Amino acid sequence: MDLQLTNKVAFVTGASKGIGRASAEQLAAEGADVVITARTADALEVTAKEIAAKTGRQIVPMAGDMSVAEDVERCVAATIEQFGHIDVLVTCAGSSPGGLLEELTEEQWLASMNLKFLGYVRSVRAVIGHMRERGAGSIVLVVGNDGLKPSYWEMTAGAANAADLNFASSAAEQYGRHGIRINTVNPGPVNTDRWDGLEKAFARDKKVDQARAHELAVNSIPFGRICESDEVASLVTFLASPKASFLNGAHIPVDGGQRKALMDI
Ligand SMILES: NC(=O)c1ccc[n+]([C@@H]2O[C@H](COP(=O)([O-])OP(=O)(O)OC[C@H]3O[C@@H](n4cnc5c(N)ncnc54)[C@H](OP(=O)(O)O)[C@@H]3O)[C@@H](O)[C@H]2O)c1
CA angle (110 as vertex; 106, 112 as ends), nearest 5: 120
* Domain ranges across the chain: 9-190+228-263
pTM score, whole prediction? 0.98
The percent of residues above 90 in pLDDT, for the chain, comes to 98
CATH (residue range 9-190+228-263): 3.40.50.720
Q: Please count the other Cβ atoms lying within 10 Å of the Cβ belonging to residue 215.
A: 12
- The Å distance, Cα 83 to ligand 1 centre, comes to 25
Q: Which pLDDT belongs to residue 265?
A: 76
- The Å distance, Cα 23 to ligand 1 centre, comes to 12
Ligand 1, atom 19: closest residue by C-alpha = 18
Ligand 1, atom 44: closest residue by C-alpha = 94
pLDDT in tens, 193-203: 999 999 999 99
- Pocket test of ligand 1: the residue of 76, 194, 260 to mutate, having most ligand atoms within 8 Å of its CB, is 194
User: Which segments within the chain are labelled E, that is strand?
Assistant: 9-13, 33-38, 59-63, 88-91, 137-142, 180-187, 251-254
Q: Please count the other Cβ atoms lying within 10 Å of the Cβ belonging to residue 193.
A: 9
- The Å distance, Cα 202 to ligand 1 centre, comes to 18
pLDDT in tens, 137-188: 999 999 999 999 999 999 999 999 999 999 999 999 999 999 999 999 999 9
Contacts of 133 (CB under 8 A, 6+ apart): none
Query: What phi and psi values does residue 105 have, to the nearest 5 degrees?
Result: -95, 165
How high is the mean pLDDT of the chain? 97
76: helix, coil or strand?
Answer: helix
Cα separation of 137 and 244, whole Å? 12
